[in-house]
């Protein structure tokens, strides 16, 4: 590799250099990276001059005017912390309080895990950073063991584990005909995976399908994991967005805890606190006991130190201020419910409009799916036609970010979906 790099370099003599030729060819072998599908959608949307255009690609919450939202609890926390920051690194006290309060949200305040202090937790660079840190940990301590990702999943999961050089496999999740969970195939893939594999699970509001297993199905999944000694790694990017209730959305994790699993979890505050650019997240890994948890934590800290030393402090101060103040926390829970309810009401409205248009298709899945995304079932041609003829943009897998749907644009969207789908009986 090194030799080929040397051979492919171009050496160019400059007129000012009299002795050695200057090599400018260091990166001649670097090819452009493939475009991120979501960035491609945003670029096409921005380039479209139509006043009717709608961007349903980006998975970020918007209000009913289509505007980004800064939660009031975040504004209140902001005014509380003004002047309290110091530009060195965050104090150990703030960081451990943040971790404690974050993991309480997923494991439960009175859980055995919390009482026995069997968790290794670390502030992470939002959900992505938490996943990446776990992938590094996996590579260091179980380097040959594959991770199974759902098919489909958030596309960056593939990038994260591939770049961490962990073998990646997939398990079946989505059933195209029913537009629901392919539970039988999912269970078969759990049974047939090599014993002791890692599995990535979306505990709620699955991205991109919006389809979650029922509590009963989670129990069966957890049991099968016990039988096959698999490790469940939960990616919790949308706690509160599925049901509007933080506790309900943690139910899958609680079921695994009841069964005594050792689990890992990546948490993100990007969506549920609207802190996208602040990059606040938490990685936690359970252990047999407190002593082992401290050992695991020391290794996570070492890996994080080599990658980025320590994460930014402002966002974490905001989150820990909100979570540690009962009034601010109550305000957050209320605002989270408002966001989840708005998305649910847009699902209902889109569905009603399509029904009123006498669409020949069954659109039940729009209201059955939960969370930020609707996996519409529209095919490539229809998605291209939506962009070309109606200025409506979404990713090519037909995923609609429901946060981009508003009272004002929902009937236009329904009409467009009806027009592109009504002539093709196979369409969706
Ligand atoms: C399933 C899932 N995991 C993780 C993330 C990463 O989120 P963050 O912005 O917190 O890195 C996302 C974001 O879209 C996601 O959908």
pLDDT along the chain (428 residues), means of 10: 44 54 89 85 93 92 95 96 65 82 97 96 97 98 96 96 97 95 98 98 97 98 98 98 97 98 98 96 98 98 94 92 97 98 97 95 96 95 96 95 96 97 65
The predicted structure's pLDDT at residue 428: 52
Distance of alpha carbon 153 from alpha carbon 71, whole angstroms: 28
Q: With left for phi above 0 and alpha for psi between -120 and 50, is residue 244 left, alpha or beta?
A: left
Residues with CB under 6 A from ligand 1: 59, 126-128, 154, 202, 207, 235, 237, 268, 270, 281
Q: Which position among 235, 249, 332, 363 bears the catalytic label?
A: 235
Our CA angle for 339, 132, 217, nearest 5°, is 60
Candidates 41, 57, 126, 127: which one to mutate for ligand 1, based on the most atoms within 8 Å of Cβ?
Answer: 127
- 304 token code pair: 């994080």
Ordered structural domains, the chain, with CATH: 37-70+333-421 (3.90.1150.10), 90-324 (3.40.640.10)
Q: With left for phi above 0 and alpha for psi between -120 and 50, is residue 254 left, alpha or beta?
A: alpha
Among this protein's residues, is 235 annotated catalytic?
Answer: yes
Give the H or E element holding residue 11.
Answer: strand 11-12
3-class secondary structure, 12: strand
The predicted structure's pLDDT at residue 94: 74
The predicted structure's pLDDT at residue 90: 60
Ligand 1 atom at minimal distance to the Cα of residue 206: 1
Ligand 1 mean position to 209 CA, how many Å? Answer: 14
Name the nearest CA neighbour of 132 among 152, 147, 150, 151: 147
Q: Directed axis angle between helix 72-81 and helix 314-324, to 10°?
A: 110
For the residues of 395-406, what is the DSSP string, one character each? -TT-EEEGGG--
The predicted structure's pLDDT at residue 96: 87
Distance of alpha carbon 298 from alpha carbon 294, whole angstroms: 6
Among this protein's residues, is 154 annotated catalytic?
Answer: yes
The predicted structure's pLDDT at residue 424: 60
Q: Which position among 154, 161, 218, 363 bears the catalytic label?
A: 154
Distance of alpha carbon 269 from alpha carbon 282, whole angstroms: 9
Among this protein's residues, is 271 annotated catalytic?
Answer: yes
Candidates 123, 125, 270: which one to mutate for ligand 1, based on the most atoms within 8 Å of Cβ?
Answer: 270
Q: Which position among 161, 179, 249, 271 bears the catalytic label?
A: 271
Give the H or E element holding residue 326.
Answer: helix 326-356
């Amino acid at each position: 590799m090194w030799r080929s790099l040397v051979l492919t370099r171009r050496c160019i003599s400059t007129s000012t250099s009299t002795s050695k030729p200057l090599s400018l060819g260091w990166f001649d072998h670097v090819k452009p990276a493939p475009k991120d599908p979501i960035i491609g959608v945003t670029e096409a949307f921005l380039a479209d001059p139509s006043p009717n255009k709608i961007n349903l690609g980006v998975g970020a919450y918007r209000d009913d005017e289509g505007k980004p939202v800064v939660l009031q609890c975040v504004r209140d926390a902001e005014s509380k912390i003004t002047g309290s920051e110091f530009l060195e690194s965050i104090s150990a006290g703030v960081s451990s309080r943040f971790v404690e309060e974050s993991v309480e949200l997923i494991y439960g305040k009175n859980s055995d895990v919390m009482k026995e202090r069997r968790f290794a937790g670390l502030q992470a660079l939002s959900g992505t950073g938490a996943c990446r840190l776990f992938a590094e940990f996996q590579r260091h301590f179980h380097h040959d063991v594959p991770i199974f990702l759902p098919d489909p999943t958030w596309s960056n999961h593939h990038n994260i584990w591939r770049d961490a050089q962990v073998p990646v496999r997939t398990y079946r999740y989505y059933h195209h005909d029913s537009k629901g969970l392919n539970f039988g195939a999912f269970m078969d893939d759990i049974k047939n995976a090599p014993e002791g594999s890692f599995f990535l699970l979306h505990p709620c509001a699955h991205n991109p399908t919006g389809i979650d297993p029922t509590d009963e199905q989670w129990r069966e999944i957890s049991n099968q994991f016990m039988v096959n000694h698999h490790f469940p790694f939960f990616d919790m990017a949308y706690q509160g967005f599925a049901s509007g209730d933080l506790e309900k959305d943690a139910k899958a994790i609680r079921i695994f805890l009841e069964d005594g699993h050792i689990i890992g979890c990546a948490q993100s505050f990007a969506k549920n606190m609207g802190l996208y650019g602040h990059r606040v997240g938490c990685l936690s890994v359970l252990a047999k006991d407190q002593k082992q948890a401290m050992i695991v934590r020391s290794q996570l800290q070492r890996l994080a130190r080599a990658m980025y030393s320590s994460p930014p402090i402002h966002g974490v101060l905001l989150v820990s201020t909100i979570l540690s103040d009962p009034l601010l926390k109550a305000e957050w829970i209320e605002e989270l419910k408002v966001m989840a309810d708005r998305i649910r009401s847009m699902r209902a409205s889109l569905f009603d409009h399509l029904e009123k248009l006498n669409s020949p298709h069954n659109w039940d899945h729009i209201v059955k799916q939960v969370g930020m995304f609707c996996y519409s079932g529209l095919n490539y041609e229809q998605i291209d036609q939506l962009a070309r003829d109606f200025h409506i943009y979404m990713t090519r897998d037909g995923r609609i970010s429901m946060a981009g749907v508003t009272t004002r644009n929902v009937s236009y969207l329904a009409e467009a979906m009806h027009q592109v789908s009504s002539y093709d009986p196979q369409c969706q």
